[in-house]
A and B are shown apart, each in its own frame.
Chain A
Amino acid sequence: MSGPAVELRNVSKRFGAGARLVLDRVSFRVEPGETLVLLGSSGAGKTTALRCINRLVEPDEGEVEVEGREIRSWDPIRLRRRTGYVIQDVGLLPHLSVAENVELVPKLEGWSPERRSERMRELLAFVGLEPSRFARKKPRELSGGERQRVGVARALAVDPPLLLMDEPFGALDAVNRRRMQDEFVGMKQKLRKTIVIVTHDVPEAMKLGDRIGVMHGGRLLQIGSSVEILAQPADDFVADLLRLESAPT
């Protein structure tokens, strides 16, 4: 595939007339196979930017392209089924088992039961959950970390080329978060997918991102590799953010 996997051009969004801009002319590209991290404190607009990519949010101005196609020409349902989406609260369906949760999208896509079940086992093993032990459990029987793993497995179910993750490890305690991050770096190398991650955690951004986009007040202040951003912060805000947040963890 040539060209960027995702591109935002001058995207602006406000929720309600007269409200402040949640996104203010945000532009960035994500290359195929790359992991971009959107970093910023809460209210920076990073989640809104992410949600523009799977049309959970419609921009007021600007263009969004996925795989070179303007987003409005995508059927939102098709687009979302080709896009893995992981959120902080995970949002596993509490009345379904782990297996049923992971098999949900394949089922909607009309996969045969054998194929679904094979895929489910493969994915649970991939995210480090023994299928025979976990498949029949209900979400409430899982720990926070296990739930998050199931969330990742579910997002990967139909092998989407694009993965969007909103504070994926935000609900975990520090120890589990580090462990999931380390594992995720390994997963990412095996998956070779285009990934966009939203986080407020600077070390997490450094660890996971090929490039980092720093956002504040709806604007994208700087985008580049962690080395570039650390060496040459675009302005005082970026410098402060890195200094304040990266020191102690």
Chain B
Amino acid sequence: METLRFFLERRADIATQTAEHVFLVAVSVGIAVAIGVPLGILLTRRPSLATPVIGFANVTQTIPSLALFGFLIPIPLIGGIGNTTAIVALVLYALLPLLRNTYAGIQSVEPSVVEAGRGMGMTDLERLRLIEIPLSLPTILAGVRIATVNAIGLATIAAAVGAGGLGNSILRGLSMVDSRLILAGAVPAAALALVADGLLGRFERWLAWDR
């Protein structure tokens, strides 16, 4: 009850931080989609590149997030204190699920369908547009969903490098040993993740061609 009252008192702050949080996640997932999906498609055309590129994306996933944010700070242009550093790190994390799902999605398209497309006289681009992308869209979207939910969680740590978002409440709560303040950041972040997961999941099912 008391925590609830505390939340109500801080609703303006929570709203601002939630908006900042959504902004961080939307921008970084957006950039990651713009890089990861075309790159994933390219990898299906140049399979020899697939192992090193997906390997690189795998390695970035293993770097502890707090350390990655820290590493980026001294780098000129993309580093420093603030949203840019946070977005760069979040993009790096979001890249792997997108790359992997795009690559796997296109690889798993029935070979006879692709073969039929070739036999019908489709150009490479027509095959991509009319066969491979539509058929792998549910898998690609599953990647977007994983990347988004991950990014919502990771973005709370971005406060450590001076970015906005719900992480600020958590960080301040930690230093002031105020669990209510921690919850004021953690609860909306968890809710955000659930909502994003639900919405994207619904969109994914709506797109599924084999439903």
Contacts and interface: CB of A to CB of B under 8 A. Distances in A.
B110 A95 contact: no
A104 to B, nearest CB: 7
A80 B121 CA distance: 5
Contacts of B121: 76-83, 105, 108
A80 B120 CA distance: 6
Contacts of A80: 118-121
B118 A92 contact: no
A104 B120 contact: yes
A99 to B, nearest CB: 15
B134 A95 contact: yes
Contacts of A105: 120-121
Interface residues on A, range: 20 to 34
Interface in A140-155: 140, 154
Most interface-central of A85, A93, A105, A140 (chain B CB within 10 A): A93
A113 interface: no
Contacts of A164: 119
Contacts of B119: 54, 56, 80, 85, 87, 91, 164
A89 interface: yes
A18 interface: no
Contacts of A154: 120
Contacts of B130: 93, 104
Given A56-B118, A108-B126, A95 B112 contact: no
A90 interface: yes
B106 to A, nearest CB: 14
A94 interface: yes
Interface of B: 110, 112-123, 126, 130-131, 134-135, 209-210
Interface of A: 54, 56, 76-83, 85, 87, 89-95, 104-105, 108, 140, 154, 164
| 10 closest Cβ pairs, A-B complex | A91-B116, A80-B121, A95-B209, A89-B112, A85-B119, A81-B121, A91-B112, A91-B113, A77-B121, A95-B134
